[in-house]
């Protein structure tokens, strides 16, 4: 069964990647705010539909809510807007590499502090090496290819300048 789990995880990553490309296509015509609203609206409809398919009426049963739950959507706005803008300015591969590195390093930092209700996880030498490799990999990825006449350059994708 383990291989099935790995396949599901690989599918997850591929879908995230395709979604990023789709969102960027939307952002070529519409502003990043409109793109964010559309992406979250679609995500809401699809998640609610899946919830109803899997759980039926139980999906609507009321459960105890803490007040801050209602503001969790603001994080989604932060994610979509920042990633869409990053991809537009840097191109998908470079932007996604930085997003991933930042995601891992923030998790490492906040885990080891035990912030935001995260379970406190000890900072080990293995993790220090991981963080170092991640950062070195990112720098190397952005290094100029040896046979390139010009540095990686993005063609302008959108008229919207500041986003």
Partner 1 sequence: MRGVIYACLGGAFLTLQGAANAAIGSSIGSWQAAALTQGTGFVAAFMIVWLLRDKSYKQLNKVKPVYLFGGAFAAFILFSNITAFHINGAALTVSAVLISQIAVTVMLEKSGIFGAYSLRLGTKQWAGLGLMGIGILCLA
Of 49-88, which residues contact partner 1 (CB under 8 A)?
A: 49-51, 54-55, 59, 63-66, 69-80, 82-83, 85-86, 88
Work out whether 145 is an interface residue with partner 1 (CB under 8 A).
Answer: yes
Work out whether 121 is an interface residue with partner 1 (CB under 8 A).
Answer: no
- Nearest distance in Å: CB 47, partner 1: 4
- Nearest distance in Å: CB 97, partner 1: 6
Q: How many residues bind partner 1 (CB under 8 A)?
A: 121
Closer CB to partner 1, 21 or 122, in the complex: 21
Of 40, 12, 16, 36, nearest to 26 (Cα)?
A: 36
Answer whether 160's CB lies under 8 Å from 150's CB.
no
Give the largest Cα separation in the chain, rounded.
Answer: 61
User: Sign (positive/negative) of CA torsion 41, 43, 46, 52?
Assistant: negative
Distance separating alpha carbons of residues 102 and 134, to the nearest angstrom: 10
Binding mask 13-42 for partner 1 (x = CB under 8 A): xxxxxxxxxxxxxx-xxxx-xx-xxxxxxx
Binder of partner 1 out of 57, 67, 122, 146 (CB under 8 A): 146
Binder of partner 1 out of 56, 67, 117, 122 (CB under 8 A): 117
Answer whether 123's CB lies under 8 Å from 112's CB.
yes
Answer whether 39's CB lies under 8 Å from 31's CB.
no
Binder of partner 1 out of 56, 57, 110, 112 (CB under 8 A): 110
Q: Is 88 helix (H, G, I), strand (E, B) or coil?
A: helix
């Amino acid at each position: 069964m383990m291989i099935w789990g790995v396949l599901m995880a690989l599918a997850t990553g591929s879908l995230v990647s395709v979604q990023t490309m789709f969102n960027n296509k939307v952002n070529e015509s519409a502003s990043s705010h409109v793109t964010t609203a559309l992406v979250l609206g679609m995500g809401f409809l699809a998640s609610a539909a899946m919830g109803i398919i899997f759980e039926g009426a139980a999906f609507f049963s009321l459960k105890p809510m803490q007040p801050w739950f209602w503001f969790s959507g603001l994080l989604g706005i932060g994610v979509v807007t920042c990633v869409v803008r990053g991809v537009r300015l840097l191109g998908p591969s470079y932007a996604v590499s930085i997003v991933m590195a930042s995601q891992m390093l923030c998790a490492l930092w906040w885990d080891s502090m035990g912030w935001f209700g995260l379970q406190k996880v000890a900072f080990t030498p293995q993790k220090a090496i991981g963080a170092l490799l991640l950062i070195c990999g990112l720098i190397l990825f952005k290094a100029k290819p040896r046979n390139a006449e010009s540095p990686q350059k993005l063609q302008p994708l959108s008229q919207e300048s500041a986003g």
